[in-house]
């Protein structure tokens, strides 16, 4: 497929567990990739591991909570590839564990800056590009924590509920322009983030056992299993799907 015909995707958090697997899937479909992350070394490793060292990919180091960085990754994507057909608004952080009265406002701001402000800024800069094209698909990464409560992670859980609300608003706003917006809501997935949440819980083993027991399929999910659903939503196969919340959670919500 020539580069002119190929579609282009921007993936934030592309150096992380889920983002990297989405990049792998989309590269297999011949999609040009703009890989965005705070961690430049990890981005370079992803490019090497996925054999993306050709003209079909671009890495942009960015902090998604900073407006100038978001403007920059969007501008670079358009400069290099001309369009943004798919946008995985995926970067996120877990924040600390603790009851509400033990959490600091600083931690709340930190988590909100990345998980809410970062996702919001991404929409603010990508939507005008897609409106001009009169097409596009956006996928925000929320979490099962965007639908459920649990003790100990109020900043994260609140932030992921916000992503659900934002997805619904955005989907309604941009549908007349031929743009779809959905959210993926992973359950417990084997990535760095989950290792950190386990460690923060005080007893990684107990945390894992309890979560596996709460999951009808009886195990954590793999990032590839989330990426498969994301890849579908960021494709023309999902042409009638918008404002939807896709849980990928082994049945935990059910
Ligand atoms: P991860 O920690 O492996 O990947 C997250 C990536 O985001 C990292 O590469 C990190 O460098 C990047 N990042 C963090 N802050 C950033 C910033 N300010 N600017 C740019 N990049 C930044 O975690 P994972 O699991 O791949 O997470 C991806 C998304 O999935 C997150 O939004 C997370 O909240 C969500 N999620 C993950 C679940 C899990 O069980 N692993 C469950 C539900 C949702």
Cβ(225) to ligand 1 under 6 A? no
Mean pLDDT of the chain: 96
pLDDT in tens, 103-147: 999 999 999 999 999 999 999 999 999 999 999 999 999 999 999
Q: What is the pLDDT of residue 121?
A: 99
In the chain, which ranges are continuous DSSP H helix? Answer: 17-28, 40-49, 67-81, 105-112, 118-133, 154-174, 192-200, 204-213, 223-233
Q: What is the pLDDT of residue 5?
A: 77
Cβ(122) to ligand 1 under 6 A? no
Catalytic residue IDs: 156
For the chain, the domains span: 8-190+223-248
Residue bearing the CA closest to ligand 1, atom 30: 141
* Domain 8-190+223-248 sits in CATH 3.40.50.720: yes
pLDDT in tens, 212-233: 999 999 999 999 999 999 999 9
For residues 251 and 154, is the Cβ–Cβ distance under 8 A? no
pLDDT in tens, 164-189: 999 999 999 999 999 999 999 999 99
Cβ(191) to ligand 1 under 6 A? yes
pTM to 2 decimal places: 0.98
Give the ligand 1 atom nearest the CA of 94: 34
Place of tokens 């859980």: 157
Give the ligand 1 atom nearest the CA of 91: 7
Q: How far is the CA of 2 from the centre of ligand 1 (A)?
A: 32
ipTM higher than 0.95? Answer: yes
For residues 157 and 94, is the Cβ–Cβ distance under 8 A? no
Closest CA relative to residue 12, chosen from 102, 97, 72, 82: 72
């Amino acid at each position: 497929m020539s580069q002119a015909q190929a579609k282009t995707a921007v993936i934030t958090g592309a150096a992380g567990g889920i983002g990297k697997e989405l990049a792998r899937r989309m590269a297999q479909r011949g999609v040009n990739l703009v890989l965005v992350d705070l961690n430049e070394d990890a981005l370079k490793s992803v490019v090497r591991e996925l054999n993306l060292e050709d003209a079909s990919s671009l890495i942009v180091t960015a902090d998604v909570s900073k407006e100038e960085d978001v403007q920059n990754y969007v501008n670079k994507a358009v400069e290099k590839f001309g369009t943004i057909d798919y946008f995985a608004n995926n970067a996120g952080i877990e924040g600390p564990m603790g009851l509400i009265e033990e959490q600091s406002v600083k931690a709340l701001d930190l988590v909100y800056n990345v998980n809410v402000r970062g996702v919001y800024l991404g929409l603010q800069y990508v939507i005008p590009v897609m409106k001009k094209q009169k097409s596009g698909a956006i996928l925000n990464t929320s979490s099962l924590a965007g639908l459920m409560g649990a003790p100990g992670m109020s900043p994260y859980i609140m932030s992921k509920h916000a992503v659900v609300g934002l997805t619904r608003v955005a989907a309604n706003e941009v549908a007349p322009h031929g743009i779809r917006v959905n959210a993926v809501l992973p359950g417990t997935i084997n990535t760095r983030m989950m290792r950190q949440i386990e460690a923060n819980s005080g007893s990684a083993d107990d945390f894992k056992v309890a979560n596996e027991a709460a999951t009808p399929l009886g195990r954590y999910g793999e990032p590839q299993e989330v990426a498969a659903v994301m890849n579908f939503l960021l494709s023309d196969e999902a042409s009638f799907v918008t404002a939807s919340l896709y849980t990928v959670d082994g049945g935990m919500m059910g």
